[in-house]
Structure formats: structure tokens, C-alpha cells
Chain A
Amino acid sequence: METRGEPQLANRMSQGDSNPAAVPHAAEDIQGDDRWMSQHNRFVLDCKDKEPDVLFVGDSMVQLLQQYEIWRELFSPLHALNFGIGGDTTAHVLWRLKNGELENIKPKVIVVWVGTNNHENTAEEVAGGIEAIVRLINTQQPQAKIIVLGLLPRGEKPNPLRQKNAKVNQLLKASLPKLTSVQLLDISGGFVHSDGAISCHDMFDFLHLTGGGYAKICKPLHELIMQLLEETPEEKQAALA
């Protein structure tokens, strides 16, 4: 499905001059305990100390994943680092990646999962923000293969945010093939039941995943990461032939 009409608009959306979701923006410390900056600083330190083959970056969907056993089972063995921060929008992730979280490391795969918290932005702007993140990673980590995870549906019953998130995924499906070294993994199917409801067994607050919810996502994600890690340039050539 193509975005309507204007390639220039799509370009501007990921270049930030008319898209706030694509403008790097640090989170303000409203609460007064500076936790966002503390987490960012810790990630920058991790970059100096560690040599991840896989990097996960995004919002609480990424962050919470590390709290469950499944992280230790599937992703720790791949030397994965988790740079998720709850509440983050695309603008926050952009700022973090521009300010140290991509330095001193050379991961083979980078998983990007962000956008569901971009409440002030349209679906087009959110997609543009995600594209801006991909472009930034292309520049700073040209060797990395990028997996963009599709936004999940949310809320117990049908609501506008579900449509918005689905629209973001549609837009990305069209635009990501035009960018470099990136693919969309849309695992949003399987959460909405035939009656339109999402179960709290999958999402304990109709947004954040339970262990069972993560298991649904992580199986295909893990498979894809393994595939990308194992791909050598020769294999890739052979596959294309």
C-alpha cells in the first residue's frame, strides 16, 4: 500500500524539518529523580564496556522484555544489550542514539521497537520518526542489519490507537523496503481475538506484554535474528542467485 501522492512529504517526515517525531529530543525530568538520563548514561557506559552482537532499542516493550526469563533464554546467549526506556517516543530514541548509545559498539543486528507512545503525532509522523531512526543507524552502524518491530494493538477493546498503530505498520511496510539493511517484522497478529478483545493474559494492562505475550513475539523474532546473524555475504549472494 503506497503512501498517498507525495514522495517529498514522506522524505520530509523522516528528515525532521516538518516532523516533530523525527526531531531528536531528550526527555524532560518532570518527576525530579532524573531517571531517564541515568538510564541513558548507563547505556552509554555499557557501550564502552561491552561488545554486543545484537542491540535492542526502544520503549518499555523493549525494556520489560529484559525482565522476563525469556530474555535470558533467547537473547543473552546472542550477546544482546537492551537499551529500552519506558515511555520513550521516536524522538527520545533518536536523541539517545545520537548522543552516545551507538558509540564504541559494532552490533550485527539492531532491533528497533518504538512508536506506541507517540501520542502527539499522527501515524505518518510516527512512521517518519522510525524511518529517521533507521537512517541514523545506517549512517552510524552501516554493518548492522535492522529489524523494525511493528507496533502492537493496544487497549482491551477496539479503539483509535489500534487503528493508528496498524496504520504506522502499513506505512512502514511500504517505506522500509526503500531503505537500507532493514526489514519490518510485524507480529501484531494473534493478539486480537475474534470478538475484538485483547486478553490480559497476553497484555496485563492491555499494553504491556506478559511472559506469555512475549513468548508469542520472541519466537519469530529470535528466528529472524538467528537468520541474520548467520547470513554471510556469500550466503546472501547465493540466496539472491
Chain B
Amino acid sequence: MNLTGTDQGQYIPLGEGATTRQKNGASRTMSNRDKNPASTPTPVIDLQGDGRWLALHHRFIADSKDKEPEVLFIGDALVQLLHQFEIWRELFSPLHALNFGIGGDETQHVLWRLHHGELQHIRPKIVVVWVGTNNQGHTAEQVAGGIEAIIHLLQQQQPQARVVVLGLLPRGQYPNPLRERNKQVNELLEASLSQLPHVCFLDADPGFVHSDGAISHHDMYDYLHLSRHGYARLCPCLHMLLLRLLTECQRMGS
């Protein structure tokens, strides 16, 4: 499989960080999961021709070898961009956090990355998972299934870690089907994750949707990605949860 070749192939205009879903992904040994493209580990194919997705993935593997994070963030652009703002340095660097976010990633891409080295050599106390909003063409059930697959993998490979799953945020300036889908994903997760020990579901939305149904560009500059102001509204409750979990870990001596 040529992942980083110079052959750009057919361009699929999905926006920056163009991704594509492969039709035949992982092995067929999983029964229910391989029917769900959102939970079938799939790498991003390099359509643009500069190999950036794999380059980032390899950098994260190198980070895993070098560093000893206590908190690992993994997901899409909402994770990745967080790292660019001062708030990361204020709230999360002090917790010895690593950021493995890649813009455009869907659940099956994160799954693939976790299967292929990004969890090796590290033993974080907490893994924060924030992914799903980019899963184009997948139903809410499929997206939730993809996130659940990520959690199962984490439980296998990082049994000591608490997992924090962040709920998907509303998006678009006005009400639209993706808001409904993201909301449904959150509802499904809240139900299924409540059964699992050491897994928290956190809906960190501080109320981005106003009473008129609109989202402000002051919070999401393109009605999807958070501005500095949006992160400032969202991060405190995540930060508090992480502190609480880390304190619990300390008390339990893990």
C-alpha cells in the first residue's frame, strides 16, 4: 500500500487535511467491528503528496520513545489546535501532557495510529480522547462505535490509564444535521460509557449554542474550530477533571 507516494491520485475535496476512507481496511477477524468503517483501523492516504499525516504520526512515535507523559491527548484538529494556544502551556503542560492530535482525523484514523506505535513506550495516567466530528458519512451509531473501539484498545494497551472521552461539540453557524448527529453520538456514549470503570465521558460544551440557535465566531472562528476564547471557555472543566483524576491516581498509588 503506497501511503506516501508522489502519485497524488484523485483529489477528493474534503478540505484541508484531506482524508479518504479505504474500502478494505483491517482484517476480517473482528465480527461486528469490521462492518463499521468508523471502527476499522485505517490510515490516511496521502492525496496531497507531501506525506504530512505519516510525518506527524512518526513524530508522535518518536515522542513516545523520548517522553514520559502523564496525560496523553489524542484526536483531531480540536486536540491539535489546542496545543497552539497559550492555554495549553498554562493548564496542560504542567500536567506533563503530550498532544497527538491531527487535523481531519476520523475515529478509524486515530484507531490506526494507536495500533501502530503511538502507545508504545509510554504509560500515561490519563488518556483524553476527542474525535468523531470529522467522520463524514458515518451514522451516529457508527461514530460512537468507533470511539468505543478506541476505548477498548486503550483498555488493552494501557490498562493503568483512565480514559476521558470528550463529547463532540455542536458545529455550523445555525442548526444543521451535523449538530444532531454529534448530539446523538454524545447520548450514545454517555449511556455506553457509564458501564465502564475508569472511563469518563465529559461533555465540555460550555453553551456554545445561543438561544437563537447560532454559534458565535468569537467561540468558533469557522463554526467548527475553537478560537482562543472558545478554548478558554471549554478547558477549565476538563482541567479540573484531570486534576481530580490525577489526585485519585496518586491516592491509589498508581
Cβ contact within 8 Å between B84 and A156: no
Cβ contact within 8 Å between B6 and A156: no
Cβ contact within 8 Å between A205 and B80: yes
The interface residues of chain A, by DSSP majority, are classed as loop
Cβ contact within 8 Å between A33 and B13: no
Q: B77-111 toward A: CB 8 Å interface, digit per residue (1/0)? A: 00010011110000000000000001100000000
Cβ contact within 8 Å between A157 and B15: no
Q: A117-160 toward B: CB 8 Å interface, digit per residue (1/0)? A: 10110000000000000000000000000000000001111011
Which of chain B's residues have a CB closer than 8 A to the CB of A34?
Answer: 172-174, 176
In this assembly, does B22 line the interface, its C-beta being within 8 Å of a C-beta of chain A?
A: no
Which of chain B's residues have a CB closer than 8 A to the CB of A161?
Answer: 48-50
Cβ contact within 8 Å between A154 and B171: no
Query: Which listed residue (B49, B85, B171) contacts A35, Cβ 8 A?
Result: B171
Q: How many A-B residue pairs have CB under 8 A?
A: 110
In this assembly, does B52 line the interface, its C-beta being within 8 Å of a C-beta of chain A?
A: yes
Cβ contact within 8 Å between B55 and A157: yes
In this assembly, does A232 line the interface, its C-beta being within 8 Å of a C-beta of chain B?
A: no
Which of chain B's residues have a CB closer than 8 A to the CB of A160?
Answer: 6, 8, 49-50
Cβ contact within 8 Å between A67 and B228: yes
Stretch at the interface among A96-104, A167-175, A183-191, A206-214: A206-214
Q: Which residue of A lies closest to B86 (CB)?
A: A69
Q: Which residue of A lies closest to B136 (CB)?
A: A31
Interface residues of A in 36-73 (CB under 8 A from B): 38-39, 42, 59-60, 63, 66-69
CA distance A93 to B19 in the complex (A): 23
Which of chain B's residues have a CB closer than 8 A to the CB of A85?
Answer: 222
Which of chain A's residues have a CB closer than 8 A to the CB of B14?
Answer: 30
In this assembly, does B188 line the interface, its C-beta being within 8 Å of a C-beta of chain A?
A: no
CA distance A86 to B86 in the complex (A): 22
Query: Which listed residue (B17, B59, B223, B227) contacts A67, Cβ 8 A?
Result: B227
Q: Which residue of B lies closest to A204 (CB)?
A: B84
Known A87-B16, A159-B49; contact A206-B8, beta-carbon cutoff 8 A: no
Cβ contact within 8 Å between B15 and A119: no
Cβ contact within 8 Å between A28 and B103: no
Q: B30-52 toward A: CB 8 Å interface, digit per residue (1/0)? A: 00000000000000000111111
Which of chain B's residues have a CB closer than 8 A to the CB of A74?
Answer: none
Cβ contact within 8 Å between A33 and B176: yes
Cβ contact within 8 Å between B171 and A206: no
Which of chain B's residues have a CB closer than 8 A to the CB of A28?
Answer: 13
Cβ contact within 8 Å between A205 and B103: yes
CA distance A32 to B179 in the complex (A): 10
Known A35-B173, A66-B221; contact A204-B50, beta-carbon cutoff 8 A: no
In this assembly, does A108 line the interface, its C-beta being within 8 Å of a C-beta of chain B?
A: no
In this assembly, does A216 line the interface, its C-beta being within 8 Å of a C-beta of chain B?
A: no
In this assembly, does B204 line the interface, its C-beta being within 8 Å of a C-beta of chain A?
A: no
Cβ contact within 8 Å between A119 and B8: yes
Cβ contact within 8 Å between B16 and A156: no
Which of chain B's residues have a CB closer than 8 A to the CB of A42?
Answer: 173, 217
Interface residues of B in 226-245 (CB under 8 A from A): 227-228
In this assembly, does B246 line the interface, its C-beta being within 8 Å of a C-beta of chain A?
A: no
In this assembly, does B3 line the interface, its C-beta being within 8 Å of a C-beta of chain A?
A: no
Known: A38-B174, A156-B55, A159-B51. 12 other contacts (CB 8 A): A32-B178, A34-B172, A35-B171, A60-B16, A67-B84, A86-B225, A119-B48, A154-B50, A159-B50, A204-B80, A208-B103, A210-B84
Q: What 3 pairs across the A-B complex have the smallest Cβ distances?
A: A33-B172, A155-B50, A38-B173
